[in-house]
Amino acid sequence: MESTTTNIHISHCSVCGSTKFAPSVSCVDYLATKEVFEIQKCITCGFAFTQDFPSEDVIGKYYDAPAYVSHSDTKKGIVNTLYHWARKRALKSKSGIVKEYAAKKSGTLLDIGSGTGYFLNKMKACKWIVTGVEKSDNARLFAKQKFDLDCQPSQYLYEIPSKAKDVITMWHVLEHLEHLNKVMAHLHNILKDDGTLIIALPNKNSLDALHYKEYWAAYDVPRHLWHFSPSDFNALADKHGFEVVATKPMHFDAFYISMLSEKNKGTFLGSIIGLIRGGIFFLRGLSDTERSSSLTYILKKKQQKTT
């Protein structure tokens, strides 16, 4: 068997450009391969990243796991049951965020990493003109069959003309994308001047992340390449001409992530323990947004000064 794995070595911080890194945690790919990946942290700005991650032409095998529920529609097991219940709730909260922050009641909406199309279907029902970009053939097929949505493969993103979109959403997607700065620059380009960019990310400063350390399920190496906290994400946004106008906690992620993290640790009755711990993180996170398991950032373009 030939091995053609090519790994991407990060030599400059993708946020601030610094070359000074410190080891953060070593994580196992619990989902697919059991391989170990190092997460390093930029000493200058605090941004963290999976070092030497597989490049996008070979990373497919790391997504090739039956347990990868993001693209599944099965209802087996307590984790999946919770996931599907949470998805329903999350759909409501996502459409609520669009309603609250978009400059218009309807318009053009692009969802990057649209998966099986549940969110787009919801927004279509709210009279938005929706477009999805999704790299998985199976997920696009599912979206077509279930919702009659014509989602596009990845390369379509770069065919979108300037200032075409009123709203762009990325729900737990940016942390998967190899070309972080290229994507952020392109999003600034294709968003209208009064447009709204909505990006949800795991929070490496969350209570659950600090508790579980290398077992924290949202490190999810090597599928998650970038590991953000509010401060380093704000720095990335600023660098690309965006202002973060609001940060919303996604409290319910604490349950799902804690259950998976207990499973990573090999805890006896991990789902139950994770549910209880998740509940504690959930309650503590209510009063401390910056410690919430996941955060949704709402971004607007910085207005150009005309002085």
Residues forming contacts to Zn ion in the complex (CB under 5 A) are: 13, 15-16, 18, 42, 44-45, 47
C-beta of residue 180 within 8 angstroms of C-beta of residue 226: yes
Going edge to edge, which strands form the sheet with 108-112?
129-133, 108-112, 165-171, 191-202, 294-301, 242-250
Minimum CB distance to Zn ion, residue 24 (Å) = 13
DSSP 161-179: PTT-EEEEEEES-GGG-S-
DSSP state of 152: B
Q: What residues contact 266, with CB distance under 8 A and at least 6 apart?
A: none
CA distances to 59, 78, 161, 219, 300 from 83, rounded to whole Å, are 24, 8, 35, 18, 30
Minimum CB distance to Zn ion, residue 186 (Å) = 21
Minimum CB distance to Zn ion, residue 15 (Å) = 5
Minimum CB distance to Zn ion, residue 299 (Å) = 19
Smaller CB separation from Zn ion, 110 or 236: 236
Smaller CB separation from Zn ion, 185 or 245: 185
Smaller CB separation from Zn ion, 47 or 226: 47
Smaller CB separation from Zn ion, 15 or 184: 15
Smaller CB separation from Zn ion, 236 or 299: 236
Dihedral of the alpha carbons of 123, 156, 14, 187, in degrees to the nearest 10: -50
Minimum CB distance to Zn ion, residue 204 (Å) = 14
